[in-house]
Amino acid sequence: MFAGLHHATFLSSDLARSRVFYENVLGLTPDLKRPNMSFDGFWYDISPNQQIHLMLLPNPEAGLQRPSHGGRDRHVALLVSDWGKLIERLTEGAVPYTVSQSGRQALFCRDPDGNALEFIAA
């Protein structure tokens, strides 16, 4: 019945700050073909027919204490084809991360708004 995951949406309280993370650190390129909506945002292709959608909206959970390890919080898991490049980009961007506690080649980090992302070596 299901054919895949089309997109995951993250709230951003500051699109300029979020774009630095998603574009400069993670290396994603905005998909400018997406239609305009009633709020600002950006779409990023992560693979054919799969995207991340950033929406400029106030964070309804501002001030909420999140777990330090993203694996203990709601998150989206993305497969990564170049593990070394990911580590290099996170390190150069001074983005803190924690490794998976399962022993898998996986790590967790947070975007500037505290959204947890998991990256798993493909």
39 or 24, which is more confident: 24
What values do phi and psi take at 34, rounded to 5?
Answer: -70, 145
Task: Output the 3-class SS for 28-58.
Answer: CCECCCCCCCCCCEEEEEEECCEEEEEEECC
From edge to edge, which strands make up the β-sheet containing 7-12?
A: 7-12, 50-56, 41-47
Residue-level pLDDT at 83: 96
68 or 20, which is more confident: 20
Average pLDDT score over residue span 82-106: 95
**Tens-place pLDDT, residues 97-118:** 999 989 899 999 999 999 999 9
Give percent of the chain with pLDDT exceeding 90.
70
Domains parsed from the chain with CATH numbers: 7-59+67-121 (3.10.180.10)
Q: Give the pLDDT band (50/70/90) at residue 89.
A: very high
Whole-prediction pTM value? 0.91
